[in-house]
Amino acid sequence: MRIEGETGFVLHSRPWRETSLLVEVLSAGHGRLGLVARGVASPKRHVLRAALQPLQHIRFDAVLVGELAQLRAAEALDAAPQLGGDALLAAFYLNELVLRLAPRQDPLPELDIAYAVTRERLRAGEPLAWTLRRFERDLLGALGVGFELHCDGDGEPVDPAARYRLDPEHGPRRLLSDRGQAERNAAATGRALLALAADARPEAADLSSLRLPLRAVLAHHLGARGLKSWEMAASLGRLAVPR
């Protein structure tokens, strides 16, 4: 099948054989695609090679044969965000989540929009914790495994003063008052859930309470193998990413 004039975002690129690249993109019309870019190591093809770097927004032509597509042409549609430090680690986390959870060749328009918006938030230097929590919410929704945040798994309204764990299958579950401090610390506040549902940035303490519950949901869908970005954040002592 021929793919012409398709747009997408480069998620990952790695060398393949002597002069080629294997490139993963999140495309608008075909979902996550694996592209084989042949001969891009040639000095004459440095413009094409530059267009295939992570975070780059591209337009491309390809021929899809089986699981991978043969890249025929690609051009950058804008300048990729120039990130460093925690923002760069956050971008790595963003791309790794999509690579691990988005199925191949399954168009997900909502995910494409969420990725584009988050990419621009990273470019603009918006607060990382809130940027990533919103993307995690939108990713789960786009994949069809999200849940309501303004009510619990039984349909009861979320209490702002209570704490909730997030059940990957049923959504928020209210934490009983007799639970230990460790379990309470790993639960989201009701205020945070309501703020996330309304897309209204919560206070710092409430925002921080969202990280571990959402991570538990993501870990459930990722399976036994976690994310390299989680390991990198822990090894660097940057607990704020992905916070």
Q: Could you tell me if residue 182 is left (phi over 0), alpha (psi between -120 and 50 degrees) or otherwise beta?
A: alpha
Burial class (CB in 10 A: 0-12, 13-18, 19+), 70: middle
Would the pLDDT of 239 be above 50? no
pLDDT of residue 216: 95
Query: Mind listing the domains of the chain with CATH numbers?
Result: 2-76 (2.40.50.140), 85-236 (1.20.1440.120)
Give the integer Cα–Cα distance in Å for 77 and 56. 8
Q: Considering the chain, what is the average pLDDT of its residues?
A: 92
pLDDT of residue 179: 65
Q: What is the pLDDT of residue 44?
A: 63
Quote the pTM value. 0.92
Amino acid letter at 231? Answer: E
Tens digit of each residue's pLDDT (9 = 90 or more) over 180-225: 677 888 899 999 999 999 999 999 999 999 999 999 999 999 998 9
Q: What is the pLDDT of residues 69-127, one digit of tens each?
A: 999 999 999 999 999 999 999 999 999 999 999 999 999 999 999 999 999 999 999 99
Helices (H) and strands (E) in the chain, counts: 9, 8
